[in-house]
Structure 1
């Protein structure tokens, strides 16, 4: 992402793929480092809010390439360019680049829990307050599925630590509330019970 890797592209030419607020934000941020930032979008209109578009259009380091999509990336271990295809004419062109950032949306991958857990309007998993507890007792959530704003590895790791602590407290409370004491000796479980 731009926040993590932008510094490595000081005085380089880079592209941001996308047309929404995330793309405009990343492109604007990257102009602090890069000598040139191309915004490549497959349509002729951006989906970004007016204020985000205005900021990007006003930035001298940003150039827009609309009605275009990347069909190939050149380079081995490092990006050296991209092949673009115009979505209207079908014509292809080459663009020399040192890096590409993809910002085509950040839909949380919560499809597995639709109808099971409560979700927010953003599509992230609804939590109880500042905890990692979800709407189902014993189910905890962490990472990008709870974070519609930052979407950074460090914040995901932090929420993972919170979830681990919440799970520990939850399990301790279950043990405390258990009416049957735990056996002192290991329990022999028949192998057919594990099938």
Structure 2
């Protein structure tokens, strides 16, 4: 059976940064890229808020650069998906692709989180061409344009108010006759002149074409009537799903399924297992914070192995 000092599950900014730091510490990390090599950033186009790229960078290129840097320092980066883990004792046992078994002295979990989408074919078609699940990441591209945000909770209201500071108009599409957000957040939304809340509306179709991307949305009200709105950006704010099914019952998770870590560290409820990136971060979910937590996980892991 193959043995590893450090096994990293998942790629993206967290996994690759952890691999960079672990490699430079001569820990010879093995990294399995997972179901979505490079993580969520590979589904976006240009990233403008990652430090070091003053002109912006394509999401896929950013991940390719991080991957190349990790490989340069000696990280063993492999294609494959962890399908089973046993964290009951050290060394931990991890099965990849249902057959390959590895024993790991330490484990860094960087499996990320997946944005929830409506499941519309048109939504999938225009993902990265006007459809986004991160206003903070992509809002800048829609300055002085009209956009829509789907959702009625705190995240949706927060994203709508953020976009309102950039965009000409923001439609907030809410399927219920009320907002689920906190009272303070609701007041902020209703006080923002360029936000129009569309209660009891669902999105029937995202409209657009291959050249321009998103150009509008067809909405259906609860009474069956339909209307179309002209927009350039369509933002989903209906939540994220942490990719932690593999660790249920083995690591302590919060009520939403995110891995709990000791405050100020990457340490999980199991000694020798560390978490980095969106898999343990329901709040920020940014590439730069994920990369920073990947650094923390590698440093925590190094100290753990030394002692």
Q: TM-score range by the shorter chain?
A: 0.7 to 0.9
Deviates more, 1:101-110 or 1:50-59: 101-110
In structure 2, distance between residues paired with 1:111 and 1:41: 29
* Corresponding residue number in structure 1 for 2:226: 92
**Which 4+ runs in 1 deviate beyond 6 A?**
none
Deviations 1:16-62 (A, max 9, x none): 10000001100001111100000001111111111101110111000
Among 53, 61, 69, the alignment partner of 2:194 is 61
Structure 1 or 2: larger strand share? 2
Alignment of 1:65-144 (within 5 A): 65-77=198-210, 78-86=213-221, 88-121=222-255, 123-144=257-278
Which has the bigger relative contact order, CA under 8 A and spacing at least 6? 2
Report the more deviating stretch, 156-165 or 93-102.
Answer: 156-165
DSSP-derived class of the 1:80 partner: strand
| Aligned-partner Cα distance in 2 for 1:116–1:68 | 40
2:180 corresponds to which residue? 47
1:29 correspondence with 2:139: no
Aligned twin of 1:184: none
| 2:151 maps to 1:18 | yes
Q: Secondary structure at the match of 2:275?
A: coil
TM-score by length of 2: 0.53
Q: Out of 100-109 and 2-11, give the one that drifted further.
A: 100-109
Q: TM-score scaled by structure 1?
A: 0.81
Match of 1:5 among 126, 134, 138: 138
> What CA RMSD, in Å, does the superposition of the two structures yield over aligned residues?
1.7
SS state at 1:118 partner: coil
List alignment gaps of at least 5 residues for structure 1. 174-195
Q: Which segment is superposed worse, 26-35 or 161-170?
A: 161-170
Matched pairs, number = 172
| Secondary structure in 2 matching 1:161 | helix
Structure of higher CA gyration radius: 1
